[in-house]
Chain A
Amino acid sequence: MNAARVIAAFIRRDFLAERSYRLSFALGALATLGNLAVFYFIGKLFGGAMAPQLEYFGAGYFPYVFTAMAFFGYIGTGAGSYAGRLRLEQTQGTLEATLSTPLGVIQLLAAMSAWNFLFATFELLIYALVGIFIFKLDFAAANWPAAALVFFLSAACFAALGILSSCFVMLFKRGNPLAWLLNNFEGLLGGVYFPVAVLPAWLAAVSNLLPVTYAVRAFQLTVHKGAGLSAIKGDLLALIIFDAVLIPASVWLFGLSVERARKAGTLGEY
């Protein structure tokens, strides 16, 4: 089967479905801008003074949170979209029909969230344009090749977490402890809204267990300080280890959960 054709078919399907909900589409874009404005005014409230925890990143509060939100917004797509898409297929009743075709697990995973990643890329572009032309952020020091590497490793890692999370949806439909963890603690403990140096030691120790901590820190350093690979090698190594473990494990477990659903006859349930 032609994988590119399958991915294109999923993207077209999801685009047409999204387009049929026009108001939701527009409101989603407005919500993103609203969020950014909140952080912009928080940044203005505290003026240009740099908090000591931010000195390490060479950025003020607004550039820090802007970059982290844009970055996390993209990599978070992988974490949330697999489970969300799968759940939608279940409730629509289309999962069983989709999985009654010769479509393999890897093809399904590659195609299922393709539209979400495409849309997230578009959002990222909007973020970049808004950041440069409206908020006048300065990215002159950025080391873009290093940032791209961090970006790729992080997106893969979060996609793997998203696939793991979708296994719960495949098996239990509702009740997804991994999604709960990702939604509620990644932002708090991962340094998205503030550097993890602000956290007390015991919470900072927990944050060290999360890939988002390494991803956000490395990305901030490459974008704001132009850090090279040697400066972020610890974070890169952590991301590589997370990827090496999580990607094969998540694909394997997803395959098992599909098999289990076929065995239990629950593919058509919601």
Chain B
Amino acid sequence: MLLEVKGLVKVFPAPVFTGTAPLRALAGADLTADTGVTGLGGPNGSGKTTLFKTLAGILEADGGTIMLGGEAADSRRLRAMAAYCPANPRSFYFRLSAAENLRFFGALAGLSPSEAAASAVKLAARLGLSAADLDRRFDRLSEGNMQKISLIRSFSRRAPLLLLDEPFRGLDGISCRGLLELIAEAGLSSTVLITSHSRELLSAAAARTLRIENGRVPAGGPQ
């Protein structure tokens, strides 16, 4: 599905009475990506996560347009079409098992309990996660395994737009290979955007890599 982003602006207002300036995280970002895998590199604070959260419909843009499949996509449509894997595992219920978390978030994304469970088992095997780990309480998982659950949550949705923010974070070598395969498979039917600070992993995952700096994707195509 073709994703076209033009002049995307996102400004975070300064907290009241702090005297600080608003943060212009996206300053007119342009981006085009079609079905397949596109990498997005850039230094810390360059706007990668803000761009992904805006494309996922979590944040409302302050300016610019987002088109998906040739149609304008507001935040509601983006939430229906995009799956976002955050860089931080603090988005799960720590006292519930990994499988229960996946069942819950699956329901919010329209998956039945059996679909969510089947998808969890299948994807877990691809990422080197055991069935016992799926049944373990989330807060008792290692950080790498938490990341795998986060990946399973986003891959399970089979969304037309898949946004993976630092997906290799905390993963061992074998799991990274499994993830690279999953990303390649997802790229056959979805538009996959992926960030990483590892140039090697980014180039292994994506044939095309863009760079974002100061909230803009400089013109000139792939970097």
Residues on A lying within 8 angstroms of B by beta carbon are 1-2, 5-6, 8-10, 12-13, 16-17, 20-21, 92-94, 96-103, 259, 262-265, 267
Contact = CB atoms under 8 A, between A and B. Distances in A.
Nearest to B82: A100
Nearest to A103: B108
B11 to A, nearest CB: 9
A6 B108 contact: yes
Contacts of A12: 100, 103-104
Nearest to A260: B60
Interface string B61-100: 0100000000000011001100010101011111110001
A93 B87 CA distance: 13
B91 A97 contact: yes
A264 B104 contact: no
Interface residues on B, range: 20 to 34
B90 A262 contact: no
Contacts of A262: 58-60, 75
B107 A92 contact: no
Given A13-B96, A97-B91, A101-B105, A267 B12 contact: no
Given A9-B103, A16-B100, A264-B12, A2 B110 contact: yes
Given A16-B96, A92-B93, A265-B59, 5 more contacts: A12-B104, A100-B58, A101-B105, A103-B108, A265-B10
B56 A100 contact: yes
Nearest to B154: A100
Given A5-B107, A5-B112, A100 B79 contact: yes
Contacts of B76: 102
A92 B94 contact: yes
B50 to A, nearest CB: 8
Contacts of A96: 58, 86, 91
Contact of B104 (A13, A21, A99, A267): A13
Contact of A93 (B60, B84, B91, B107): B91
A8 B50 CA distance: 32
Contacts of A93: 88, 90-91
A100 B107 contact: no
B49 to A, nearest CB: 10
Interface string B165-198: 0000000000000000000000000000000000
A212 B67 CA distance: 49
A9 B107 contact: yes
Contacts of A267: 58-59
Nearest to A95: B91
A252 B181 CA distance: 45
Contacts of A17: 93, 95-96
B220 interface: no
Contacts of B95: 16-17, 20-21
B4 to A, nearest CB: 21
Contacts of A265: 10, 12, 50, 53, 59
B13 interface: yes
B33 interface: no
B8 to A, nearest CB: 14
B109 interface: yes
A259 B103 CA distance: 26
Interface in B147-174: none
Contacts of A101: 79, 105, 108-109
A236 to B, nearest CB: 37
Contacts of B93: 13, 17, 92, 94
Chain B CB within 10 Å — which of A20, A97, A99 has the most?
A97
A10 B104 CA distance: 7
A20 B94 CA distance: 11
A99 B58 contact: yes
A97 B100 CA distance: 15
A102 B95 CA distance: 24
A97 B110 CA distance: 15
A16 B10 CA distance: 38
Given A17-B93, A96-B91, A6 B60 contact: no
B60 A259 contact: yes
Contacts of A6: 107-108
A68 B12 CA distance: 47
B58 A94 contact: no
A20 B139 CA distance: 13
Contacts of B10: 265
Chain B CB within 10 Å — which of A1, A97, A100 has the most?
A100
